[in-house]
């Protein structure tokens, strides 16, 4: 199957990217790749299949589950409410979610955004016989039963899906809207991201949806949803290359967030487990790059931004493996080689 592309010849070495993405081509679960320079696509291409059962090809408009790339939208939602003085970064999480135990008194929105809350991972305290799908409100109910944290708030770093599920609930309490509606009305619609959504089963359906797959001894099997796939704040958004290009553009100016808010989002607030990586609000910071990966059952994604170069690479894929961060950095390297 020929890779789908909508970019005219521009000197970018697309054949080298095709070679990097060869394993995604044909009848395998696919991927979509975007390279933006100064907001203009210099590569916009897709490989393989978004739906293997129906033989539907992936395209640049295919919508993938972003997994943890969703966290930057949750962070943006909080920052919008901070700008309106409806939420403070130093609010105790119990101001908004008073059913949490007293140990959460000293946990703030800032701690949740930077993975420095010490909250217990909800995945580790789910009932072993749970067979349905967990939602953000269920995460709260699980955490209501916890009488300890991994460390005192603000004294360490531990990546926390629990924290971002609670942030989504804070958005709901502060705005009076569902989290999905807040994102749609305050972020996606204003930016023209018409086909991006926080996915709630059946309302509405995801257009041009990619389904997730995992490789087994018997071949590729569909593994599109897990027990945690319906938690929205930490990973429930579906989007495409074309809509994410609009998101990337909005991060350079104040069309959505003010300059102070964007500085907060991209500031290196805390060291992480990796010596060369710090964490902002929903973004990792490594050298000159702002980036975040997204991994959930059936999906592996990454967005890597080089703001000083006005360069962005996005790779979205509907398979468990491989992790695309290294590939995205190699693709960025090709673009950097072209710079004057």
CB 238 within 8 A of CB 206: yes
| CA end-to-end span of the chain | 35
Q: What is the rounded CA–CA span in Å between residue 267 and residue 217? A: 44
Determine whether 160 is an active site residue.
no
Tokens of 58: 């992936």
Q: What is the rounded CA–CA span in Å between residue 164 and residue 147? A: 19
CA atoms within a 13 Å half-sphere pointing along the CA-CB vector of 225: 15
CB 67 within 8 A of CB 299: yes
Q: What is the rounded CA–CA span in Å between residue 289 and residue 283? A: 10
Q: What is the rounded CA–CA span in Å between residue 325 and residue 294? A: 10
CB 235 within 8 A of CB 182: no
Burial of 227 (0-12, 13-18, 19+ CB in 10 A): middle
Q: What is the rounded CA–CA span in Å between residue 241 and residue 243? A: 6
Query: At 44, is the secondary structure helix, strand, or coil?
Result: strand
Residue from 5, 23, 68, 128 carrying the catalytic annotation: 68
Residues 6+ apart with CB under 8 A from 22: none
CB 113 within 8 A of CB 227: no
Residues 6+ apart with CB under 8 A from 212: 29, 65, 222, 223, 224, 225, 296, 297, 298, 299, 318, 319, 320
Active site amino acids: 68
């Amino acid at each position: 199957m020929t890779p789908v592309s909508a970019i005219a010849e521009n000197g970018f070495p697309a054949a080298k990217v095709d070679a990097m993405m060869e394993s995604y081509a044909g009848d395998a679960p696919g991927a979509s790749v975007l390279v933006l320079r100064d907001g203009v696509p210099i590569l916009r291409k897709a490989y393989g299949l978004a739906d293997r059962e129906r033989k539907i090809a992936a395209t640049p408009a295919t919508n993938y589950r972003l997994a943890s790339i969703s966290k930057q939208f949750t962070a943006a939602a909080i920052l919008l409410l901070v700008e309106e003085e409806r939420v403070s970064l130093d609010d105790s999480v119990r101001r908004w979610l008073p059913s949490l135990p007293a140990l959460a008194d000293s946990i703030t929105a800032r701690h949740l955004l930077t993975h420095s809350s010490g909250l217990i991972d909800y995945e580790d305290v789910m009932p072993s016989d749970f067979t349905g799908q967990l939602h953000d409100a269920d995460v709260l109910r699980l955490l209501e039963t916890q009488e300890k944290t991994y460390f005192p708030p603000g004294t360490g770093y531990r990546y926390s899906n629990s924290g971002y599920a609670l942030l989504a609930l804070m958005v709901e309490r502060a705005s009076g809207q569902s989290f999905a509606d807040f994102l749609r009305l305050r972020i996606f619609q204003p930016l023209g991201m018409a086909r991006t959504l926080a996915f709630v089963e059946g309302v509405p359906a995801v257009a041009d949806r990619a389904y997730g797959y995992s490789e087994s001894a018997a071949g590729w099997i569909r593994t599109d949803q897990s027990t945690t796939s319906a938690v929205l704040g930490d990973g429930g958004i579906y989007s495409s290359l074309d809509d994410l290009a609009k998101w990337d553009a909005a991060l350079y100016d104040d069309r959505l967030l003010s300059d102070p808010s964007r500085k907060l989002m991209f500031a290196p607030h805390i060291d992480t487990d990796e010596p060369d990586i710090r964490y902002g609000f929903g973004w990792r910071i490594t050298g000159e790059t702002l980036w975040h990966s997204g991994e959930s059952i059936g999906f592996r994604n990454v967005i890597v931004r080089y703001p000083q170069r006005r360069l962005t690479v996005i790779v979205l894929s509907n398979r468990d493996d491989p992790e695309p961060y290294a590939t995205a950095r190699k693709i960025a390297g090709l673009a950097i080689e072209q710079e004057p």
